[in-house]
Structure 1
Amino acid sequence: MTDSQITAQILTESLKYFLKYRDQTVVIKYGGNAMIDEKVKESILKDILLLKTVGIKVVLVHGGGPAIGELLEKYEQKSQFVQALRVTNKKTAQLALTALAGKVNKSLVQDIIRLGGNAIGVSGIDGKLIEAKPISEDLGYVGEITAIHPEIIERINQTDAVPVIASAAIGLDGEIYNVNADTAASRIAGSLCAEQFILLSDVRGLYGNFPDEGSFIDEINLTNLEKLVKEKKLLTA
């Protein structure tokens, strides 16, 4: 196949995607060490701007990546984990918010604008976008998401800006809670009735029969996901 034929094939497939999802909502969760590589980050943001340009309502949800750990280390806050959840005291919660809504969120907004697009950065605290309650006293300010109020995202989607959401949460008690970013992104996707939910990470992904590489799952719909969960075949890696 010649270069021109390859280019034509790519454009044809891209056009099908653009037409299918035009005026639809696509939620993208971006996190992990995939946020570190500047070339990878720029490539992802350019793709997001392309989707926005062709009329797709892109919502970008992010975690803290390594930024939270770096800030905690700077302020000599040791991380303790219980069942893969970071034990979070009040100071840790404030530092996590600083990393999420400050450093990471505003950096992504800045990069999108630098690339010629427009973006509005908010956290789950703004407009009570992500509400949560404490999971347990042992975990401190680690929250379980209880509600999503997507109105602020819907308003941003009516503009030319990409909503960039930091996955912090607010409780009915007015306290800040640390919540799982993947869970937050999936709940936001559900609340927006998103046509597609995309997880971007340096983690390989899902397997139907781990560690069999042939069972790797790069894309899955809700029906098949529920089937795998029911059969207890779904493992993470």
Structure 2
Amino acid sequence: MIKQTQSDTELEEKGWATAKTLAEALPYIQIYDREIVTIKYGGHAMGDEAVAKLFAGDIVLLKLLGIHPVVVHGGGPQISAMLNRAGVKSTFVDGLRVTDDATMEIAEMVLSGAVNKEIANWITRAGREADVRGVGLSGKDAGLLTVEKATRIKKDPDSMIEQVVDLGYVGEPKVVDDKLLRTLINDPEHDYVPVIAPIGVAEDGLTYNINADTVAGAVAGKLNAKRMLLLTDIAGVLDGDKDLIRQMTVSEARQLIEDGVAVGGMIPKLETAIAAIEAGVEAVVILDGRRPHAMLVELFTEHGAGTLITRDPQ
């Protein structure tokens, strides 16, 4: 007779706990079945290989559960590192990098090259046994992103006179052509996961860098995504006391910007969330991408993670 050891008991208890977790997740899995979830992957978490592998594994799991993930990635820290090595100085306006010729060349090289292909490769490796494949794209592929030059208006703190700030080669999505994305998502024979670098082309043929949050919002709106997840390197939206806000409406998000509570990179995130919801996305979540399995906690548990932003009640 073979007796059960302490380690066997622990494994059995772990198995029962896993089964319970899966059963509790079932209602949420059904909510997102065959729905599109757009995920913006960015922040310093992208530079951590262990976290990147977990992220790729979670993306594969979403695909195997019948969800259609579409990944849009940033690469700010990677661009900054390359610019520093090249001796090019960066300046920012409301969280957007002012982009001259030299910066644009490096940004495209980093975003469309190293970062984009690395993320696609991690997804393909994580999904090898199930034939889930990451497909690296930029907005320049198949006319995916047509952009227009972005501008910002700032008030001089002394004179309070408004001035137009030239951001250089920074664009905003004007047209999202989703034909290629839908072809990949709906392929009957393969499980493809689009991975999009935030680079686009204007009608005059010039290449522009785009804020990845903004691209994610535009893509999510065009695809009528069920959810948009903004994975970053903070827990979510913080109030004036630096406490996490669990849930807010579009109007409340606007108020945070107007009151100056939201600053820096949080401004384009909230603006993106607002625009995405107004374009038809059901809800947007800003959450910490450095935490293992943050996406799974958000989508498949009652508590969720980060800050959930929804439309105003009717």
Superposition TM-score, scaled by structure 2 size: 0.68
Alignment of 1:78 with 2:94, yes or no, is: no
Structure 1 unaligned residues grouped into runs of 5+: none
Correspondent of 1:133 among 148, 154, 163:
148
Alignment of 1:227 with 2:258, yes or no, is: no
The count of aligned residue pairs is: 228
- Deviation per residue, 1:105-149 (Å, 9 max, x gap): 001111112222311110011122222111247221111222211
- Deviation per residue, 1:35-63 (Å, 9 max, x gap): 11111111111111011012111101101
Alignment of 1:146 with 2:208, yes or no, is: no
How many Å separate the matches in 1 of 2:89 and 2:213? 23
**2:201 paired residue number:** 170
**2:274 paired residue number:** none
2:140–2:199 contact (8 Å) kept in structure 1: yes
**2:133 paired residue number:** 118
C-alpha RMSD of the superposition:
1.9
Aligned pairs for 1:155-194 (under 5 A) are: 155-159=183-187, 160-194=191-225
1:35–1:65 contact (8 Å) kept in structure 2: no
Structure 2 unaligned residues grouped into runs of 5+: 1-12, 152-164, 267-314
1:94–1:176 contact (8 Å) kept in structure 2: no
Larger radius of gyration: 2
How many Å separate the matches in 2 of 1:53 and 1:3? 23
How many Å separate the matches in 2 of 1:51 and 1:135? 34
The one-letter code sitting in structure 1 at the alignment partner of 2:94 is: Q
Q: Secondary structure of 1:118's partner? A: strand
User: What displacement does 1:210 show?
Assistant: 2.5
User: What displacement does 1:4 show?
Assistant: 4.9
**1:45 paired residue number:** 56
The one-letter code sitting in structure 1 at the alignment partner of 2:136 is: G
How many Å separate the matches in 1 of 2:83 and 2:242? 37
Aligned pairs for 1:52-71 (under 5 A) are: 52-71=63-82
How many Å separate the matches in 2 of 1:83 and 1:197? 22
How many Å separate the matches in 2 of 1:229 and 1:67? 29
1:34–1:201 contact (8 Å) kept in structure 2: yes
How many Å separate the matches in 2 of 1:14 and 1:65? 34
**2:102 paired residue number:** 91
The one-letter code sitting in structure 1 at the alignment partner of 2:120 is: V
- Percent of residue pairs identical: 38
